[in-house]
Amino acid sequence: MKQIRRVAIANRGEVAVRIIRACEELGIETVLLHSDADIQTRAYRLATKTICIGPATTALSYLNIEANINGALAAGADAVHPGFGFLSENADFAEQCEKAGLIFIGPSSDAIRKLGDKVSFKNLAKKANLPLIPGYEGENQSVDVLLTEVEKIGLPVIVKAAAGGGGRGMKLIRVMADAKDLIESAQREAKSAFGSSTVFLEKYLEQAKHIEFQIFADSTGHVVHLFDRECSVQRRHQKIIEEATSPSLTDDLRRRMGEVACTIAALGKYKSAGTVEFLLQDGQFYLLEVNTRLQVEHPVTEEVLGIDLVKMQILTAQGSFVFDSKDVRIPRGHSIECRVYAENPYLGGVPSTGKLGLVQWPEGPRRRYEYGFESGDTITSHYDPMIAKVIVWDENRPRAIQKMIRTLKDSTVFGVDTNIPYLIEILNHPEFQSGKMTTRFIETYFAEALKAPAEDAQIKKWAQQIYKNLKSGGATVASSVNESISPWSSFWRGV
């Protein structure tokens, strides 16, 4: 066992803050390895030390292995936490950390290679007879072979980049006439986005739910699952709302899926926190992939189980976390997380950048906020536009939904547009409330941008009029507004 005294954080935003908080509680110092665009952020203000490792461009900073390792060593760190995204699932980064004498807070580079790589994970699962989505992940990448395989699998088929992630690099083949073009463009895009043109094929499941299991292997390698999350509410294959536990699982399904999740983790000699993802359709479940890192939606698991996954990761990395065989883990109540993005929901989600004005997250029992930016900070176009995660817990799912709606309604974010109105619409939707939603929920019910409330358009007109008048030195604010329809009464009616 080697006591960790200083953790370098190879990440940014809310996850960097999350890691800082866990370290503080364990009496560990932190070093934020940041780009020069991230000085005005909460993590920068909270970290014990900060080291600039490069410019805003991710390839030169957050994705630069050498810069991160040199920064960690220069700061005298003895461990590195990669957070999620960026280098968190990069086996070479984990290996370089190990070689440089830095403890990588996560699984070994070998486990990342075995389980994090989508193709090698499938091979491992196949050998162990675990349930996979029918597909093709062979080495022969000629378009003719791929076309024959598409026919064998049967349409619809999804083409995925072997090195892809984050919901990117997928093409859906619905008719054979489009197959050749879609395969070729998937290969081209995979090459330019992920550096490898290798693709694989899967049967596309039309009515699937996304269910995942949190797994955790302690310092001795003992694997347990920490129950499930449902993440079927996705836009363009990216999760927006997540919950624990899933409203869709029977006890029997939960037990069987949990067993498969633990089996695959043990086969990969896993250590630390990871997620085993499944698709569930018509009562059948299929392994989708393993994420060899902490997950964005980890707080909902923490809320229903009363645990701290980041502290568990750190303690496991220093060899001092062992599950007590007498521990009984039973999830209690229901937890929901909403990802709040800086984007305009009335314009189909176009990103919204700028300086944050007043930001207020309403306090209340079992409401939790994970955020990396506060009033006065700037949301730039360099990185992911997520401003915060809002997490609630309540006794059961209907109450948790109501609490989330109230919490979002009472949240204030000035300075940029947010998707909060969009989240509220989703939470109010009968299909979401029934718990029956599939991964196609958003494309089915929210394909169009939200309709802007009439009041907004009216206020915008008045604001433009006022601005024009002020600029031209003309009428005052009061006289520029038609007194018979006061904007203020109309505005408040709309709230």
C-alpha to C-alpha distances, 156 to 126, 150, 176, nearest whole angstrom: 22, 9, 9
- Nearest to ligand ADP of 29, 230 (CB atom): 230
Output the smallest distance, CB 350 to ligand ADP, in A: 22
Query: Which residue has its beta carbon closest to ligand ADP?
Result: 439
Q: Which residues of the chain form contacts with ligand ADP (CB under 6 A)?
A: 133, 158, 164-168, 202-205, 208, 210, 234, 237, 277, 279, 288-289, 439
- Nearest to ligand ADP of 35, 439 (CB atom): 439
Of residues 440, 446, 444, 442, the one with CA closest to residue 158: 440
- Nearest to ligand ADP of 5, 237 (CB atom): 237
- The whole-angstrom separation of Cα 3 and Cα 108 is 18
- DSSP output for 256-311: HHHHHHHHHHHHTT--EEEEEEEEEETTEEEEEEEE-S--TTHHHHHHHHT--HHH
Output the smallest distance, CB 248 to ligand ADP, in A: 14
- The whole-angstrom separation of Cα 186 and Cα 190 is 6
Give me the helices (H) in 56-127, please: 65-74, 91-99, 109-111, 118-127
| 260 in Cβ contact with 276 (< 8 Å) | yes
Output the smallest distance, CB 479 to ligand ADP, in A: 55
Catalytic annotation, pick one of 113, 229, 235, 293: 293
Output the smallest distance, CB 438 to ligand ADP, in A: 9
Output the smallest distance, CB 89 to ligand ADP, in A: 10
Q: Which helix (H) or strand (E) holds 354?
A: strand 354-355
> Is 12 designated active site?
no
- Nearest to ligand ADP of 319, 435 (CB atom): 435
Q: Read off the tokens for 196.
A: 């490898």
- Nearest to ligand ADP of 67, 182 (CB atom): 182
Q: Tell me how many degrees the CA angle 295-300-305 measures, rounded to the nearest 5.
A: 110
Question: Which residues have a catalytic role annotated?
Answer: 293
